Structure 1
């Protein structure tokens, strides 16, 4: 990936592995969209990250295959906001595969006498197996942090601000100080606060799965703790997926000279 942390990477997906998850072929994207239409899949949509989501569905592809129709909301206030929005962030599943994409500048229209919105078929689409988690190495320029309450022998807790070095829908890897911090496998931390740029703070519960000692380029040692999410709420899962999709889309655009 184009953004690199200053420490040594451990068991992360390679720099080109995002292509395994990010689909760009227009023909395949249309096939997936048609599958969502045929399967009457419910789509969770948002006008922008952090805003309230609503349920909708894809209802048809245009005859030329260049645009897709989305069912309008039963809430007219939401429809007004959709009609004036720059994009619609869509998340759904097809055959147990997580699908996420953005529809640019949706425009109000009608389909078989019912209100709908028309948008161009997306030029890329993110897809992920349910049990497969794409690990995103977080950009140094937009740091992600997680505040973890650490229990003390006297029963009190200290709040430890940790730097997130990679993130997936399944968990995070954080850098923790190597001394005087009780981090070990199978420890569980509740009421952790995951801070995602532009999306705000998300409450998560973490369980430590593994610990690795790292040495950065300056010779300074640190610990990497691989933590999994426990009972992650759907709203938090959606926010994390939006963050991953946003970072990958921006990175892809930079590589293609669009930013």
Structure 2
């Protein structure tokens, strides 16, 4: 990702959660573990904890570039920095690291599903035929697929597992003008009182999608998961 706001948000997450970073100088195969002490946007800097070793600190400040790697709740994060210097922050030794212009942020849990709150009003638009397009409430989402509610039983003629639907789209903030395919994986009834069929739940796998869609989807899934964790924390507190 290259958006400054998105990068700052992720760096602040790593700061708040005291995520361990592996700092490796360019050309070397080993480095040391550290943490982000403070994100300082107005100065364009990160304060990253320094070591007690003068020679190790010098290997960082003398390096042409340093790569920082981390794992944030299943997400692989990586960024590089140059022109790193030693500094003091509240009396503590730190590295002054320029805020990166890009950040690698990869959600690897392809089949990890996160529920979509009703307040998001997320819809999936699925062409059912040449002249019929349905819009369905998205129940949950992952990097590999999604599940929807079919309240009107519009899929009554398309219930065969493996059925492919082309030119689908997600109607949600963060997903812009991206078309993809959906392959039906499962379908079952959600019964109400007295055993009557109230609605249908259908699960799909994504297909025929672009790299740009994958990146946008990754951000969306992470934002949903972050919101869920923050809500759980408020309940516990």
Per the normalisation by structure 2, the TM-score is 0.57
Unaligned runs of 5+ in 1: 1-21, 41-58, 70-79, 85-91, 119-125
Deviation at 1:25?
9.7
Shift of 1:143: 1.6
Equivalent of 1:148, from 126, 131, 141?
126
Q: Note if contact 2:162-2:184 (Cα within 8 Å) is conserved in structure 1.
A: yes
Q: Which residue of 1 aligns with 2:179?
A: 203
Structure 1 residues 39-188: aligned runs within 5 Å: 65-67=35-37, 83=44, 98-99=75-76, 110-111=83-84, 116-117=98-99, 129=108, 132-151=110-129, 156-176=130-150, 177-178=152-153, 180-188=156-164
The structure number with the bigger radius of gyration is 2
Q: CA deviation at 1:231?
A: 3.2
- Verify: 1:251 aligned to 2:228, yes or no: yes
TM superposition shift of 1:248 = 2.1
CA distance in 2, matches of 1:187, 1:232: 17
Partner of 1:51: none
The alpha carbon displacement at 1:227 in A equals: 0.4
| Deviation per residue, 1:121-158 (Å, 9 max, x gap) | xxxxx98545x42101110111211111112xxxx331
**Whole-Å Cα distance in 1 between the matches of residues 226 and 234 of structure 2?**
12
Q: Is the 8 A contact 2:15 2:37 kept in 1?
A: no
Checking the alignment, whether the CA contact within 8 Å between 1:110 and 1:117 is kept in structure 2 is no
* Structure 2: runs of 5+ lacking an equivalent: 1-12, 46-68, 86-96
The change in CA–CA distance for 1:150 and 1:203 in structure 2 (over 3 A counts) is: same
Task: Answer 1 or 2: which has greater helix percent.
Answer: 2
Post-superposition CA distance 1:162-192 (Å, at most 9, x none):
1111110000111223255424211101110
Q: CA deviation at 1:23?
A: 9.7
Residues 68/184 of structure 1: CA separation in 2 closer, same or farther (3 Å cut) = farther
Aligned-pair CA distance for 1:68: 8.6
